[in-house]
Structure 1
Amino acid sequence: MVRKLAAEGANVIFTYVRSEQKAQALAQEIEKLGVKAKAGDFAKSAHQISFQTVHPAFTIRS
């Protein structure tokens, strides 16, 4: 899906579940099409942000 959107000229942002290395490689491949691409573990980041909002005294370290 991300490749198709990028091929149509869309900048894309996507998440990965297992392999950061593969996700970054895909982002680099997509950027060769002349669009912007960002890969990240956004589900983990969202969990950390929401937890820190509810419990500001805690800091989650990866």
Structure 2
Amino acid sequence: MHRIDVCKLACDAKFNRFHAAVLGWMFLILVLDGYDLAIAGIALPGIMKEMGVEATTMGAW
């Protein structure tokens, strides 16, 4: 069986276009993941006021 030294493989790897693409996609995913929470936090007070719901009841959803 052939053994691969993962630490040596990672240390010897050069940063290339593939790594940049993965890094870019991961950054975009993190931004979009946080975006929905930010929008919900901004919109929630208006929604609560419109529906006549108190803050204690809103958290029960």
TM-score by length of 1: 0.28
| More strand per residue | 1
TM-score by length of 2: 0.29
Q: Which structure has more RCO (C-alpha within 8 Å, separation ≥ 6)? A: 1
